[in-house]
Structure 1
Amino acid sequence: MTDPTTLRVGMVGYAFMGAAHSHAWRTAPRFFDLPLRPELTAIAGRNEEGVRAAAQKMGWESAETDWRRLIERDDIDLIDICSPGDTHAEIAIAALEAGKHVLCEKPLANSVADAERMAAAADAAAARGVYSMCGFSYRRTPALALARRMVAEGRLGQIRHVRAQYLQDWLSDADAPLTWRLDKSKSGSGALGDIGAHSIDAAQWITGLNITGVSALLQTFVTERPVAGDLVGLGGHGASGADTVRGPVSVDDAAIFSARFAGNGNGNGNGTAPGSGKGSAAGPIGVFEATRFALGRKNAMRLEINGTAGSLAFDFEDMNALSVYDAADGSDAGFRKILVTEPQHPYAGNWWPTGHGLGYEHLFTHQVVDLVHAIAGSQPPAPSFADALQVQKVLAAVEASAHADSRWHTV
């Protein structure tokens, strides 16, 4: 008999994101009062030995070698998708049609067409009380949640500029091995979709404005890499010694694009670069950069927003702080730093005493908390698949612009 006080979870994938999500499902009910108690019912992965070891290590009750078994099982209420992007659409749509709630990692899919199918399935499921959410975890950073609150309160006035960077360096070594993240058929894109998607979502979420057009440049610095042992599979010798096999990199290493956001009276949709027509109320403009080749930057997810009344600045490498400038303080006041660890700050009151900072793993715990409350309250969680579809459309416009000599593309 189903226990109405539990939420029984089945997860697909057990690598980096799988570990982060597992930790979140275990931790959330220990620090937050939840209306439903998550149960780590089953985890799925293709390698039987690997998935069983992961289940034991990360606290899952059972393991499956086929994600379809999770959907078939009557003792699972929610499917958590942590597998590569090429699998998202098939798994999510099947789960929703079977009456399972879905949490799907970002980016939502590898194409706009797949994302549209997922969003449609999510809408149909929501009408039956079955809910879905995309895992843009940076929304759950207390400092960024506070930034959104400040913008919504009008503290920045009318938004003029958005600057977003996501800088990492883990692929700077040309001999770093080829992984699925460098295979377009599995990942959809490189730095653009892997980390740039976070910047796009955060910028749109905090400002409350969608990106309407882009002009972009994509670059691949290293076009071939050593094939990792688990990817050889075709008679290769792995990535060691003189027999090293190198495979093609089919995604971008870095992405740069300028953007126009929606605004009152801004409706440029003619496919040309928007002008500042006389008397028009144009929306904000933005500059975005995503790279995994910025030596010395480990996870510098940065966002700065300038408005007519003030500015906000954030860097995830100092994730517990938000820099704020209030123009009313005077032109020489400069930015002040808010340590976002006070009980009144988003999420912070459920953790440690003031000044005791949080870490990366807490974002996923907060994600679980918000999702569980939404499901229990029969409320659509956010970000929705429709929100994630909007990000997917921006990603597609960036790629289209880059492949057309940076010409302006509408979203």
Structure 2
Amino acid sequence: MTNQIRVGMIGYKFMGKAHSNAYRALPMFFPDSRKPEMTAICGRDPEGLEQARAQFGWASSETDWRQLVSRQDIDLIDINAPSDAHKEIAIAAAKAGKHLFCEKPLALTLEDSREMLQAAEKAGVKHMVGFNYRFAPAVQLAKKLIEEGRLGQIYHFRAWFLQDWIIDPSFPLVWRLQKEIAGSGSHGDLGAHLIDLSRFLVGELQEVIGMNETFVKERPIATAMTGLSAKGSADAPRGPVTVDDATLFLTRFENGALGSFEATRFAAGHRCTNSFEINGSKGSVKFDFERMNELQVYFTDDAEDVQGFRRVLATDPAHAYMDAWWPAGHTIGYEHTFTHEVHELMKAFEEDRQPVPNFYDGVKCQEVLEAVDRSIAERRWVGLSEV
């Protein structure tokens, strides 16, 4: 393999644009990293695919992912197609000796995700799952404070991911609202990120209990979809919503900490409120992705007359990744988390190791998602050892 990693990407809409931007930005801001070569992009609609190829800067295109996987000029397969396609593509790519970068959730089911991990391990390829929020510098700071013991013993992790983009009952029935394609609704889409952040920051979950609700049971059939937007008519034929609109659950972590999680697409006024608070014996931190450059930090040993949460702007070179970007105080955005994610992937090639998070983390997340689903169905606490 050369210093360049030749990428074949499947999917070209919301995540396809985010990944493409990361591949293009990496050499400019992380010049010592291996360079991803944007070799081929794949999608089913020739017209939309060609537009994306030209706009995003890919060298070639394929309308059949099987053809892409079989190409000898591809090292890495990037999968950001809908969730129902992940398993088949990943397993075929692994068998073809391709390295893997797959968006979350890893698969529709825990069983499928375990098969994907097994296939990747058997093939001896590198594999990464797309939990991009880990790569915000403020989240990395929270991790550093916990690892260094500066928050003491962790007592609480509470997290909420709130959106409102489908709160209008006439919003069309997009694929994210269909279980056979998406696997689940807010739980697997938004809750998966919270679960990964909790594992990254606090540790493994031991048991869970949850509840969910689908507030709008039917919606007009969509005529076109792009990212989180769609076209349709309020008087169009309607189809059933087969996923959750909101899921909440409680957990006990293996280290004794307690956790609460809320994921919903029905929180009016919240566009992308991905937040967590962690309380420990020596201090606390608070994070909100809508203010992603900031971490609120509190230490119990501050002098009594100045105690309180302080606003830390995580843009100085002292913070993860920030020496690659702008002068202190100049903020970064959502797209930069993907650049950092791809930087980790390229470093893994350079250092000949598995990137983190990888398919193992995708499986562990899927275990929690499924344990919560079982808890809701059976109306009881479910241990992670049961799934």
Shorter chain as denominator, the TM-score bin is over 0.9
Given that 2:33 and 2:343 are in contact with CA atoms closer than 8 Å, whether structure 1 keeps it comes out as no
Shift of 1:97: 1.6
Q: Which amino acid aligns with 2:291?
A: D
Q: Which amino acid aligns with 1:381?
A: P
Structure 2 equivalent of residue 94 of structure 1: 92
SS at match of 2:116: helix
Structure 2 equivalent of residue 225 of structure 1: 219
Q: Distance in 1 between matches of 2:332 and 2:233?
A: 39
Shift of 1:330: 4.3
Post-superposition CA distance 1:184-232 (Å, at most 9, x none)? 011000000001100000011012x11111110011000111111149x
> For the structure 1 residues 75 and 408, does the alpha-carbon distance in structure 2 shift closer, same or farther, using more than 3 Å as the test?
same
Q: Which amino acid aligns with 1:215?
A: I
Given that 2:224 and 2:232 are in contact with CA atoms closer than 8 Å, whether structure 1 keeps it comes out as no
After TM superposition, the structure 1 = structure 2 runs for residues 6-405 of structure 1, keeping only pairs within 5 Å, are 6-126=4-124, 130-207=125-202, 209-230=203-224, 239-240=232-233, 242=235, 244-263=236-255, 283-330=256-303, 333-405=307-379
SS at match of 1:177: coil
SS at match of 1:328: coil
Shift of 1:125: 2.9
Q: Distance in 2 between matches of 1:92 and 1:331?
A: 55
Shift of 1:317: 0.7
Q: Distance in 1 between matches of 2:95 and 2:292?
A: 38
Given that 2:170 and 2:234 are in contact with CA atoms closer than 8 Å, whether structure 1 keeps it comes out as no
Q: Distance in 2 between matches of 1:37 and 1:287?
A: 40
SS at match of 1:175: coil
How much identity, in percent, do the aligned residues show? Answer: 51
SS at match of 1:166: strand
Given that 1:34 and 1:373 are in contact with CA atoms closer than 8 Å, whether structure 2 keeps it comes out as no
Post-superposition CA distance 1:7-26 (Å, at most 9, x none)? 11000001100000010011
Q: Which amino acid aligns with 1:77?
A: D
> For the structure 1 residues 191 and 331, does the alpha-carbon distance in structure 2 shift closer, same or farther, using more than 3 Å as the test?
farther
Q: Distance in 2 between matches of 1:299 and 1:338?
A: 21
Given that 1:255 and 1:291 are in contact with CA atoms closer than 8 Å, whether structure 2 keeps it comes out as yes
Shift of 1:122: 2.2
Q: Distance in 1 between matches of 2:49 and 2:148?
A: 46
Q: Distance in 1 between matches of 2:200 and 2:120?
A: 20
Shift of 1:331: 5.3
Given that 1:9 and 1:80 are in contact with CA atoms closer than 8 Å, whether structure 2 keeps it comes out as yes
Q: Which amino acid aligns with 2:178?
A: D
Shift of 1:35: 3.8
Q: Which amino acid aligns with 2:51?
A: A
Q: Which amino acid aligns with 1:219?
A: E
> For the structure 1 residues 241 and 251, does the alpha-carbon distance in structure 2 shift closer, same or farther, using more than 3 Å as the test?
closer
Q: Which amino acid aligns with 1:73?
A: R
Post-superposition CA distance 1:293-321 (Å, at most 9, x none)? 11111111001000111111100011000
Q: Distance in 2 between matches of 1:175 and 1:164?
A: 29
SS at match of 1:120: helix
Shift of 1:124: 2.1
Q: Which amino acid aligns with 2:118?
A: A
Given that 1:239 and 1:245 are in contact with CA atoms closer than 8 Å, whether structure 2 keeps it comes out as no
Q: Distance in 2 between matches of 1:84 and 1:331?
A: 52
Q: Which amino acid aligns with 1:384?
A: N
Structure 1 equivalent of residue 228 of structure 2: none
Q: Which amino acid aligns with 2:164?
A: D
Shift of 1:56: 0.7
SS at match of 2:215: coil
Q: Number of residue pairs matched?
A: 378
Q: Which amino acid aligns with 1:125?
A: A
SS at match of 1:345: coil
Given that 1:31 and 1:351 are in contact with CA atoms closer than 8 Å, whether structure 2 keeps it comes out as yes
Q: Does 1:408 align with 2:381?
A: yes
Given that 1:125 and 1:131 are in contact with CA atoms closer than 8 Å, whether structure 2 keeps it comes out as no
**Which stretches in structure 2 are left out of the alignment for 5+ residues?**
226-230
Post-superposition CA distance 1:58-86 (Å, at most 9, x none)? 10111110111111101111000001111
TM-score, normalised relative to structure 1:
0.90
Q: Which amino acid aligns with 1:62?
A: S
Shift of 1:163: 0.4
Q: Distance in 1 between matches of 2:197 and 2:32?
A: 26
Alpha-carbon RMSD: 1.3
SS at match of 2:364: helix
**Which stretches in structure 1 are left out of the alignment for 5+ residues?**
232-237, 264-282
SS at match of 2:378: coil
Q: Which amino acid aligns with 1:56?
A: A
SS at match of 2:270: coil
